[in-house]
């Protein structure tokens, strides 16, 4: 599992520019949620119906990851 953690650390670093434990957990949740949403959208619809607050939290986290990614890309271009 150490190799997977190293992969996740590098992915987080490349995606948002850093790889703290908190960031890695957010990136992991974002990646898994995105995969589930694409492969089983009905499951996501069911889940969001059951847990609307969790859906809002997930949307906030996704937006945070997107913003961090955009900032990282912009800083890398300079």
pLDDT band at 76 (very low <50, low <70, confident <90, very high): confident
Q: What is the mean pLDDT of the chain?
A: 94
Q: What is the number of other CB atoms lying within 10 angstroms of the CB of residue 6?
A: 11
How would you classify residue 17: left for phi > 0, otherwise alpha for psi between -120 and 50, otherwise beta? left
Q: What is the number of other CB atoms lying within 10 angstroms of the CB of residue 17?
A: 15
Q: What is the number of other CB atoms lying within 10 angstroms of the CB of residue 27?
A: 22
pLDDT at 1 over 90: no
Which residues have a Cβ under 8 Å from the Cβ of 29 and sit 6 or more positions away? 58, 61
Q: Report the pLDDT averaged over residues 40-67.
A: 96
């Amino acid at each position: 599992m150490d190799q997977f953690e190293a992969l996740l650390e590098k992915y987080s670093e490349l995606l948002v520019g850093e790889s703290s434990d908190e960031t890695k957990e957010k990136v992991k949740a974002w990646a898994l949620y995105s995969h589930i949403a694409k492969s089983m959208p009905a499951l996501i619809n069911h889940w969001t119906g059951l847990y609307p607050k969790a859906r809002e939290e997930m949307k906030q986290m996704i937006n945070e990851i997107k913003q961090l990614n955009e900032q990282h890309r912009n800083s890398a271009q300079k």
